[in-house]
Structure 1
Amino acid sequence: MSSFTQLTRFSNYITGSYKALVHGRGHWFAPQICNYTRKSAEERLGIDKPKRPLTPFFKFMTQMRPALLAKNPGITSKEAIAWTSKHWQQLDSETKAQMLKEYEKDMEDYKKIKDIYESSLTEEQKADIKKLREEMAVAREKRKLKADFKELGRPKKPMSSYFLYVQSRKETFQGKNIKEYQLKMKEEWLKLAESEKAKYEKQALELMNKYKKDIEAWELKMITIGRTDVVRAKPVRDKKSKSIDKKQ
């Protein structure tokens, strides 16, 4: 076992883990935290990165957790934080000072181990970590925007004529293999008479026209309340106008 691995394991033993605190405690915060945010870039790449020590408050929270859950097994995350905060404030200054002293010592150890860890990374690992962090940041922004759209009631883009047809045939699925069913629907759509397709295309066009009006009204509302960040950079344009622009 390398000296770095020994140091890392020692660090993890001393400092504990935010992951264990935030994600390993059953239902405390689990409803508020999604699976895709649980792993860091290093963890996803299989790199053993030293973990920061818990602050005195979070360390206190882990210590109080068993007693709190024993008394209140159905407690929510909000109630748990309020309960812990209340008892933290009531904690005597001497105990807090001792916990702070321990934290400062743990931080000194962590910084030394972190320096060793960072110097041990290869250029390739650094590049992989940087790239993955950027991808994760973009993904977080997309999730945030999607959540904002839902909260602010953004109109949903309607289905295409093909998916309207698939929806009309959903009763034929009945637990079949999804891939086989998709292939079957595609074959049916390709063989469908043009007159039948026209019905779905007309319905899709009507829904799209309604969507355009709804989205424009919604965006005007967003602008008035100062949420220009959720407004599209470019307006919705139909395919016909795009083809005209290309010809010109």
Structure 2
Amino acid sequence: MAPFGLMTAGASWLAKSFSVFSCTSTLARCSSVLSATYITPVKYLSSQASGPPKKPENGYLRFVLQQRPDITRHFPGIKPAEIIRKVAGQWRMLTPEQKKPFDEAAQRAREQFKVDQQRYQALLTTEQFQQETQKKKQRLAKRRSTIRKRELNTLGKPKRNRTPVNIFVSEHYAEARGLTPQDKLKSLVQDWRIRSLHQKQIYTQLAQDDKIRYNNEIRSWEEHMVEIGRPDLVREKILPTKRKSAAKAQTIKKGTKKVIDTVKKATASKTVRSK
């Protein structure tokens, strides 16, 4: 009976092994099908999936993308700003003939971009086209705002005055509760709300002093802007007379220049006729 029992046990073990193997292979096939169906991104032909075409790089940026790996390989651990500085120096040393391949590639990419942009817009519905137009306006407004802020910082525009809450938060931010900046700010606002009027009085006085500082600095700065010919940066409520007079002076200057140019052209034409 022992051999028969061993044979029975062996047969049952083989059956179990075969069933496990078949189940494993089945699961593998199922997982491969699932991965192929759900993990692999599906490429749709609609504009919603592909999105608008990306604006191509100019010749200089193409040169940067080409030279960046070489500089990173030769200078391990170099900072991105230093990489751009080195590549910019190399670009300035190139002759027009050496820059020509990059500029020509950029020109071809721009022409292809126009074709792709027209094709993409043709696939959009009226609602999608309006959404794209609105997004474009928002990006343009944001870009203009950033440029204006940089210009004002370069011209040294004074920083706006702070409120009592701003002063309180800046002084107690280091010991505020919370791990994230949002949590710290929330805890500081709660602490400010539970403070008494007497405790808030010192921050109110500091805010009033800071407001006086800002008003004095902004007036001096705006007067300087009018003097250097930038009345467009002056607030109408603060210096309306000086701003209008500066704008009027610029208009008179432009009109005088036009008159002078007209007189020069008339004189030149008379000289030619007399000859």
Give the match for residue 20 of structure 1.
Answer: none
Q: Contact between 1:53 and 1:107, CA under 8 Å: does it hold in 2? A: yes
Distance 1:171 1:87, change over 3 A: closer
Return the match for 1:80 from 56, 80, 87.
87
Relative contact order higher in (CA < 8 Å, ≥ 6 apart):
1
SS of equivalent to 1:172: coil
> Could you tell me how far apart the structure 1 residues matched to 2:74 and 2:236 are?
52
Distance 1:192 1:122, change over 3 A: same
- Is 1:151 the equivalent of 2:154? yes
Distance 1:46 1:164, change over 3 A: farther
SS of equivalent to 2:94: helix
Q: Contact between 2:164 and 2:207, CA under 8 Å: does it hold in 1? A: yes
Q: Contact between 1:154 and 1:215, CA under 8 Å: does it hold in 2? A: yes
Q: Contact between 1:4 and 1:116, CA under 8 Å: does it hold in 2? A: no
Q: Contact between 1:52 and 1:110, CA under 8 Å: does it hold in 2? A: yes
Give the match for residue 206 of structure 1.
Answer: 209
Letter in 1 for 2:87: A
> Which 10-residue stretch deviates more, 183-192 or 67-76?
67-76
Letter in 2 for 1:129: E
> Could you tell me how far apart the structure 2 residues matched to 1:176 and 1:54 are?
41
> Could you tell me how far apart the structure 2 residues matched to 1:55 and 1:196 are?
58
> Could you tell me how far apart the structure 2 residues matched to 1:180 and 1:112 are?
49
SS of equivalent to 1:49: coil
Distance 1:89 1:65, change over 3 A: farther
1:216 CA drift (Å): 0.7
**Structure having the higher Rg:** 2
1:5-154, aligned counterparts within 5 Å?
Answer: 47-51=50-54, 62-63=65-66, 66-67=69-70, 70=73, 74=78, 76-91=83-98, 100=104, 112-154=115-157
1:51 CA drift (Å): 4.9
> Could you tell me how far apart the structure 2 residues matched to 1:78 and 1:203 are?
44
Give the match for residue 230 of structure 1.
Answer: 233
SS of equivalent to 1:153: coil
Unmatched 5+ stretches in structure 2 = 1-41, 240-275
TM-align CA RMSD: 4.0
Percent identical among aligned pairs is 21
* Count of residue correspondences: 194
Distance 1:191 1:47, change over 3 A: same
1:219 CA drift (Å): 1.1
Q: TM-score, normalised by structure 1?
A: 0.59
SS of equivalent to 2:229: coil
Unmatched 5+ stretches in structure 1 = 6-41, 237-248
1:220 CA drift (Å): 0.9
- Is 1:168 the equivalent of 2:171? yes
Q: TM-score, normalised by structure 2?
A: 0.54
